[in-house]
Amino acid sequence: MNFPCYIQHQCAISPQHTFKADIFSAPLVTTDDNMLQVLPPDYAGLIPPNALRRMSKVLKMGLATAVQCLADAGHPQPDAIITGTGKGSLQDMEKFIKDIVTYQETALNPTQFIQSTFNAVNGLIALQQQNTRYNNTFVHRGLSFESALLDAMLQLAEGKQLVLLGGFDEVTADQFQIKSHSGWWKKEKIHSADLLQHVSPGTIAGEGAAFFLLGDQPAANSYAKIAGIRLLNRPGAAKLEGALQTLLATHQVQPDLLLSGRNGDSNYQHFYEQISAALPGVPEVSFKPLSGEYETAHAFGMWLGAEMIKAGKAPQQWFPADTPWPSKLENVLLYNQYYGEQHAFILLQKMA
C-alpha cells in the first residue's frame, strides 16, 4: 500500500512514561519478572466515573488513549474508527469463564461477556464520542494493528479525511502462566533492559495501547508521514528481503534508522539478523525492551518512531549507552515479526 497518510496526533499508554509525558527526559522503566505492564494514568476526566468502575484494564487504557488523542486534536469527529487487537479484553473473558464454572452456567452476569468482545473498545469510543460512522476492529494475531492501519489507509484513499486508528492488548497473570507452558516467555528471569543481550528461547511479555489520528493531508503539527507498508504471512527468506527492497525502491529511500521488534528470542532471531544485514550501515534499535511482546506491539513501535521523527531526536536514556545513533532521523523503517509467521514493514518519513 503506497497511498501516503499523515499522523496528525497520537497518544500511548505503555510500560514507559508515555502518556502526556516528556519521553526525552522520562526515566527508563524496567522489570525483573519477565512481564512489562502499563503505567496507568489518572483516568479521571477521560472516562465517566460510573463507567470507569466497571471497566477492565484494556478497556480503560484503550478508551483513555483514544479520547486523549482526539482531545489533543481539538475533539474532531473522525470519519472512521479502526482498531486492531490480538485478544481483546482477556480480563473480562477470564472472569466470564470462571463464572460459568462457579455458577454452573446459571445466573451469569452478561457484563464480562459483552466487554470481552474484540470490538468493545471501538464501541465505547463511538458511544462516548457520539460517532456513528465507519467502525471496524481487526483481530489478526500479530498483524491485527497492521491490518487496521492498512484499512485506515484504504479509507483515506477512498475519500475519508480523518481516521482514528488504534492498537491495544493486555497481559494477565493467567495468560502469562498459560503461555509460559507453551514456551513463549523465557524460563529464566532477566532484567528487561538486558533483553537483547540475553538471547535464548522465549521473550518477555508486555501490553499497551496506542492511538493515532490519521489524515489524508498534513496538518500544522503532524508527527510523520506513513509512506508505505508491507505485510507478509510466513515468507521465505527471499520473499522477506524482496518485500524490503521493493518498499525501499518504491520510495527511493535509505532509512536513517531501523526500529525493530527484536526481542531476544533465539527461535526467531534470524529474521532480524537478515533484515539488519540487508541494511548495511543503518543503525538498529529495538522497542521490545520498552514494551515487551504482544500482538499489537508494533503500534507502540510506530508511536515511538513518529515521536522521534517529529522531535528529530531519540529518548536515548531508554537505550544502551553505546547505541550508534544516526545524525538525522528523517526516514525510519519499522520491522516486526510475530513468532515467525506474520511480518510487517512500516516506513515513516519526516514531514516535508
pLDDT digits (tens, 9 = 90+) for 143-195: 999 999 999 999 999 999 999 999 999 999 999 999 999 999 999 999 999 99
Residues 162 and 243 in one domain: no
Give residue 92's identity as a one-letter amino acid code: D
Residues 29 and 152 in one domain: yes
Split into its structural domains, the chain has a count of 2
Q: Could you tell me the three cell numbers for 195?
A: 533483553
The yes-or-no verdict on residue 2 having pLDDT over 70 is no
- b vs e for 31-54, b when ≥16 Cβ sit within 10 Å of the residue's Cβ? beebbbbbbebebeebbeeeeeee
Question: Residue 99 belongs to what domain range?
Answer: 6-215
Residues 304 and 201 in one domain: no
Phi and psi angles of residue 47, each rounded to the nearest 5 degrees, phi first: -130, 130
CATH number at residue 12: 3.40.47.10
Residues 202 and 249 in one domain: no
pLDDT at 171: 95
The yes-or-no verdict on residue 220 having pLDDT over 80 is yes
Residues 230 and 193 in one domain: no
End position of a domain, from candidates 149, 180, 215: 215
Per the domain annotation, does 82 fall within a domain?
Answer: yes
- The secondary structure of 196-250 as a DSSP string is GG--BS-B-B--EEEEEEEESS--TT--EEEEEEEEEES--HHHHHHHHHHHHHH
Q: Which of 309, 344, 299, 332 is nearest to 14 (CA)?
A: 299
Per the domain annotation, does 300 fall within a domain?
Answer: yes
Per the domain annotation, does 143 fall within a domain?
Answer: yes
End position of a domain, from candidates 158, 180, 215: 215
Residues 303 and 163 in one domain: no
Per the domain annotation, does 95 fall within a domain?
Answer: yes
pLDDT at 12: 98
Report the Cα 283 to chain-centroid distance in Å: 21
Residues 170 and 136 in one domain: yes
- b vs e for 303-328, b when ≥16 Cβ sit within 10 Å of the residue's Cβ? bbbbbbbbeeebbeebbeeeeeeeee
Residues 255 and 231 in one domain: yes
Per the domain annotation, does 1 fall within a domain?
Answer: no
Residues 193 and 314 in one domain: no
- The secondary structure of 63-76 as a DSSP string is HHHHHHHHHHTTS-
pLDDT at 352: 80
Residues 29 and 172 in one domain: yes
Residues 249 and 195 in one domain: no
Mean pLDDT value of segment 250-260: 96
Lowest-pLDDT range of 12-16, 51-55, 210-214, 269-273: 51-55
10-43 pLDDT tens trace: 999 999 999 999 999 999 999 999 999 999 999 9
Residues 81 and 195 in one domain: yes
End position of a domain, from candidates 153, 188, 215: 215
pLDDT at 107: 77
